[in-house]
Amino acid sequence: MADSVKVQGWCPTAWRPMQAQDGWIVRIRPHCASISAAQWRILSGLALSHAHPQLELTRLGNVQLRGVEDAQLTALRSGLIDAGLVPANVDADLAPAVHCSPFYQVRDRTHELADLLSAAVAQHLSPRALQQQGMTALPSKFGLLVDDPAQSLRGISADLRLWVQPDQAGLGYALSLGDSSKRYGYTSAAEAIDAALQVAIWFARQRMSAAGAAPTRLHQLLKTQQPELSVLKTAPQYAAAPGAEAFARPVKPGLHGHDWVIGAPLGRIDAPAMQQLAGCLPAKTEIRVTPWRSLLLPGSELEAAPLSTAHWMTDAADARNRVSACTGSPGCTQALIPAQTLALQLAPHTREGTEMHISGCPKLCALPGDATAVVFASTGNTGQLLLNAGPPGRLASPTIQIPCEALPSEPAGIQKLIHELSI
């Protein structure tokens, strides 16, 4: 292969957007995973006027706008701040992300925990707060997560994970560090949050003196050092129940209790379709963002809303659930193929249980952690355009390589690719 495979890593925000080939990426981190119908209407309008006409759902439950030009950045950010979607304070926006399960009731203990943690993180872990204690800002990838009592987000990566555990007498709040199965129990949300903050500050301090490249994730540092903190030493510790650490399956589109989970094909919401949906709902209706590239809505509200299958997935069996893709062409100037078009072509041929990612070049932007097969385009040594495919861990020597022209609109070519990948 003439090109080399490179996985990128960088987390943009609204105040610190990321430059991509097709313009700036501006990311919104919904507070407690919640955005009201009124805010979605504004967000869709901003996408139509200042960015590509799409809203991208990320694997951590964020929403991002893409293709923003230099001249549009300030006006876009102002619109987001006015809508209450982004902090007016740059320091709060650059504080570590606090992700939250969408499965909670308003003002229940999970909601209160996430709300309190978000405020505490903005106050104590922002770049300025750390700088005042002689530390550099935490890496942009460092993040905290509040899970629901069922731990629906077990499969989602986080540096510090907190959740409510109703069945632990007297220890109603739990904390775990990195990917460790060890849990610390606390009697109150305040205690659990204080412990999480102390671990984050320990990480911020220790990474500055770590040998070699500073670790960007807590689990990397925990391989060589353990925090000697009294908030951990004095807390009751216990291991996860057998089987409890199993990878939680993504929640698929469909009715879940009284709520609907609706998916967006390839995690991209058509801005006019979102405007139409949000326009049919009362302004205060919460439309929560899930980490599975979908939205959670109250079932009672959705009955009146139009959901075109071109833009939304309401069926867990929808084959488009099985594929993801990077921007590809024409949106990305580095793209060798229209990755999204190819992903939608391959979807009906992809077996249940497979998570296939299509990439327009070997950079593999936004490769999902749960992908089981990857197809990416590259330029061969002779200049020929190739489609490479294989499992994500072995892309340096792909399982198969076929000329690009042999595939895209050809059912036989697609069948061959799927067959040889055994997916």
Which residues form the interface with ligand SF4 (CB under 6 A)? Answer: 21, 326-328, 332, 334-335, 339, 359-361, 363-365
Q: Say how far apart CA 403 and CA 49 lie, in whole Å.
A: 39
Shortest distance in whole angstroms from residue 74 CB to ligand SF4? 25
238: β partners: 183
Shortest distance in whole angstroms from residue 79 CB to ligand SF4? 25
Helical segments of 262-363, H only: 271-279, 299-302, 339-346
Shortest distance in whole angstroms from residue 8 CB to ligand SF4? 7
In the numeric block, which tokens belong to residue 76? 């876009």
Shortest distance in whole angstroms from residue 397 CB to ligand SF4? 19
**For ligand SF4, which is the closer residue by CB, 86 or 343?**
343
Q: For the purposes of burial, counting CB atoms within 10 Å of the CB of 253, is it exposed (0-12), middle (13-18) or buried (19 or more)? A: buried
Q: Say how far apart CA 24 and CA 86 lie, in whole Å.
A: 16
**For ligand SF4, which is the closer residue by CB, 153 or 264?**
264
- Please check whether residue 162 is in contact with residue 237, taking contact to mean a CB–CB distance below 8 angstroms: no
Shortest distance in whole angstroms from residue 334 CB to ligand SF4? 4
- Parallel, antiparallel, or unpaired: how do β-strands 54-57 and 63-68 relate? antiparallel
**For ligand SF4, which is the closer residue by CB, 278 or 342?**
342
Alpha carbon 156 to its chain centroid, in Å, reads: 8
**For ligand SF4, which is the closer residue by CB, 21 or 89?**
21
**For ligand SF4, which is the closer residue by CB, 254 or 391?**
391
Give one word for 153, left, alpha or beta, with left for phi > 0 and alpha for psi -120 to 50.
alpha
Question: What's the CA dihedral at 402, 5, 343, 99 to 10 degrees?
Answer: 160
Shortest distance in whole angstroms from residue 359 CB to ligand SF4? 5
- Please check whether residue 162 is in contact with residue 104, taking contact to mean a CB–CB distance below 8 angstroms: no
Shortest distance in whole angstroms from residue 63 CB to ligand SF4? 18
Residue nearest to ligand SF4 (CB): 360
**For ligand SF4, which is the closer residue by CB, 18 or 73?**
18
Q: Say how far apart CA 180 and CA 359 lie, in whole Å.
A: 32
Supply angle C-alpha 252, 253, 258, rounded to 5. Answer: 110
**For ligand SF4, which is the closer residue by CB, 187 or 341?**
341
Give CA separation, 66 vs 2, 20, 24, 365, in Å.
29, 8, 6, 14
**For ligand SF4, which is the closer residue by CB, 135 or 367?**
367
Shortest distance in whole angstroms from residue 10 CB to ligand SF4? 12
Which of 356, 394, 353 lies closest to 373, judged by CA?
Answer: 356
Q: Which residues of 56-94 are buried (b: 16+ CB within 10 A; e: fewer)?
A: bbbbbbbbbbbbbeeebbeebbebbbebebbbeebbbbb
Return all residues near 232 (Cβ < 8 A) that are at least 6 apart.
184, 195, 199
Shortest distance in whole angstroms from residue 406 CB to ligand SF4? 20
**For ligand SF4, which is the closer residue by CB, 20 or 122?**
20
